[in-house]
Amino acid sequence: MKLVQVLGPGCAKCQALLKNAEEAVKQLGIEAHIEKVSDINMITSFGVMMTPALVVDGELKLQGKVASVEEIKQMLAS
Q: CB burial class (10 A; 0-12, 13-18, 19+) of residue 34?
A: middle
**Would you say 67 and 18 are in contact if contact means Cβ atoms under 8 Å apart?**
no
Return the pLDDT at 13: 95
Is 40 among the catalytic positions? no
Q: Is 53 left (phi over 0), alpha (psi -120 to 50) or beta?
A: beta
Q: Which residues pair with 2 in a beta bridge?
A: 32
In this predicted model, what pLDDT tens digit does every residue of 32-65 receive, in sequence order?
999 999 999 999 999 999 999 999 999 999 999 9
Is 28 among the catalytic positions? no
Q: Which candidate in 3, 11, 12, 40 is catalytic?
A: 11
Rounded Cα gap, residues 29 and 45, in angstroms:
30
**Per-residue pLDDT averaged across 17-46, rounded?**
96
**Would you say 6 and 37 are in contact if contact means Cβ atoms under 8 Å apart?**
yes
Q: For residue 77, what pLDDT band results from cuts at 50, 70 and 90?
A: confident
